Structure 1
Amino acid sequence: MSTIEKAMGELRHTSPKSNAAEALKSSADVLSGAESQPAVTKIEGKKEPFKDSSRIIPINNSLLESLGMINNGSNESERQIKDEFRLIKHKLLKKAFTPEEGHKPSANKRNLIMVSSPNMNEGKTFVSINLALSIASEQDKTVLLIDADVLSPSIGDTLGFDNDMPGLTDYLLGNVGDLSDIIYPTTVPDFRVMPAGSSNNMSYELLSSGKMAALMEEIASRYSDRIILLDCPPLLGVVETVTLSNLVGQAIVVVEQNKTKLGDIKQAVALLNSEIDTGFVINKAVQTAGHGYGYGYGYGYGSKDNKK
């Protein structure tokens, strides 16, 4: 039994916040070493005009492929990773857009989803970007990916754009007045990005401010079809992430198969706001796949109010 399976089993019996279901498992080969080419990704053929083409972030298809991410490829690995993230996103979308009795979906803030991990280098940014790409392929949904890891931003490095672009911290500091100035369209239709912004030593004060809370409320309710993903810092030892869990409706905790310790998983989940729905993504779940071994992604899901 793997570390995460043990964790899910124990948390299901000991924590009211995470009745996580048994993780899904499938294999997906991770591609590496492919040389980046100046190609542009367009997923599912949707089209959307942009007024200012200079602000559009180009998403490089070859770069995505080299990183083992969702792209326009047609090989078996590409199909597998698409299928796995479809399974994850459908659970998230169902929660986000199914209203509780007497409430609109936006009132539950479940379209605000944070992605974190107990520790560094467990795959949270990889999961965040793939989820964003997968959600963008939906015919009636848009997705905004926010780099909320203002201490160590990595979305720009991963996708190949300048991390110095005005972003979240600049808006919170008042250096950028219009929210639209820090939301950038990409060459993937219905996929938007908000960079972390300028480095600042007051990250906790900014992310816990009333302006941050107001920002989350605004972007959660402005577009009824939008999912907002926040790529957050790790949970353990970073107070900013715990603060952010009070602003969202769902949380994804990314754990690495056979690396993340059971105690770290339990400690990380205990730090989250007990009122939000919490799910797990297993990263690098190695298993036999008929003709060899691959890397897969499992998903377990649960919440405080889900007793079944």
Structure 2
Amino acid sequence: MTSDNDSRSAALVPSESAVQRLDSRQLDARRIVRHDMQDARPADAFRDLRTQLLARTDSRVEVLLVAPVARGSGGSYVALNLAAAFAFDETRQVILVDCNLRQPCLHQRLDVEVRNGGLVDYLEGRVDNLADVLYPSGLARLTLLPVGTRREASGDLLGHARMRGMIDSLRSVAEKVTVILDAPAANASPDTRILATMTDCCVLVAGYGRDTPAAVQSASAVLDPQRLAGVVFNRVP
């Protein structure tokens, strides 16, 4: 039997029936992993990361933060592909939230037309219905919540009670759900520290050969050590 609460939560996820899926060429051009890649190494790397995160949380990871050490470390690349890897599971719903208010990019990577606004518009009260700012991504079981109206200064927007309430709503969209927050650079924005308090675990992304050990250590200090799952090195040869 489905409860009224379950029905309302499920209604948040947009229908995929009329959405054109990204094909293999489009996914490859966007550097998004798929389960049937000819070179399986990228997909296997993100599958392995997914498995480690689930093992660390006894399969109960619902809200995950991905934050780069610095701008250009590849945080959005890792967040998007980790979301794609979680969505390989046909029993799981995945929601990818772009929290880079100054430099959003996920809607462009996924070629999503942001018609009704996004995260900022919802948090500022211009959009009342959360479902209106959730968009099909072109990947099965993966939904995007884009930034919408860009903000150069986030103020207290991401720490507002409406943000925490939104995260709670997203946790309940399905029996198995993973919400991935694509956060700003840990060394450049206080937003990352705020967002981390709403998550079950955090992943830090370091640019291989780019971010120094001191920079990684400084970024790690921003996050709660109890929530920090580890550091992912991006662009490893």
If the TM-score is normalised by the length of the shorter chain, which range does it land in? 0.7 to 0.9
In 2, Cα distance between equivalents of 1:74 and 1:201: 38
In 2, Cα distance between equivalents of 1:174 and 1:83: 40
How high is the TM-score relative to the length of structure 1?
A: 0.67
Partner of 1:208: 159
Runs of 5+ in structure 1 lacking a partner? 1-47, 99-104, 287-308
Classify the secondary structure of the residue corresponding to 1:203.
Answer: coil
Matches within 5 A, 1:91-110: 91-98=52-59, 105=60, 110=61
Matches within 5 A, 1:289-308: none
Partner of 1:181: 132
In 1, Cα distance between equivalents of 2:80 and 2:136: 14
Classify the secondary structure of the residue corresponding to 1:153.
Answer: coil
TM-superposition CA deviations, 1:60-100 (whole Å, max 9, x none): 5323212433136542x2x11111111001112234454xx
In 2, Cα distance between equivalents of 1:204 and 1:60: 39
Partner of 1:275: 226
TM-superposition CA deviations, 1:151-205 (whole Å, max 9, x none): 1101012222235651111110111111111111233221111011112355131
AA aligned to 1:141 is R
In 2, Cα distance between equivalents of 1:218 and 1:206: 17
* 1:249 and 1:277 in contact (8 A); partners too: no
Matched, 1:152 2:109: no
Partner of 1:227: 178
AA aligned to 2:193 is V
In 1, Cα distance between equivalents of 2:132 and 2:209: 42
Classify the secondary structure of the residue corresponding to 2:231.
Answer: strand
In 2, Cα distance between equivalents of 1:158 and 1:212: 24
Structure exhibiting the larger radius of gyration computed from Cα positions: 1
Matched, 1:50 2:15: yes
Matches within 5 A, 1:1-20: none
Matched, 1:89 2:50: yes
Please, which moves more after superposition, 270-279 or 143-152? 270-279
Classify the secondary structure of the residue corresponding to 1:204.
Answer: coil
In 2, Cα distance between equivalents of 1:280 and 1:186: 27
Offset of residue 238 of structure 1: 0.7
1:192 corresponds, among 143, 152, 155, to: 143
2:76 corresponds, among 125, 129, 135, to: 125
How high is the TM-score relative to the length of structure 2?
A: 0.86
Assess, with a 3 A threshold, how the Cα gap between structure 1 residues 276 and 170 changes in structure 2: closer, same or farther. Answer: same
Please, which moves more after superposition, 160-169 or 237-246? 160-169
Partner of 1:239: 190
1:69 corresponds, among 8, 25, 32, to: 32
Runs of 5+ in structure 2 lacking a partner? 1-12
* 2:37 and 2:43 in contact (8 A); partners too: no
Q: Percent identity?
A: 22
Count of equivalent residues: 225
TM-superposition CA deviations, 1:265-286 (whole Å, max 9, x none): 0000001123313221111111
Assess, with a 3 A threshold, how the Cα gap between structure 1 residues 217 and 74 changes in structure 2: closer, same or farther. Answer: closer
Assess, with a 3 A threshold, how the Cα gap between structure 1 residues 139 and 258 changes in structure 2: closer, same or farther. Answer: same
In 2, Cα distance between equivalents of 1:72 and 1:276: 29
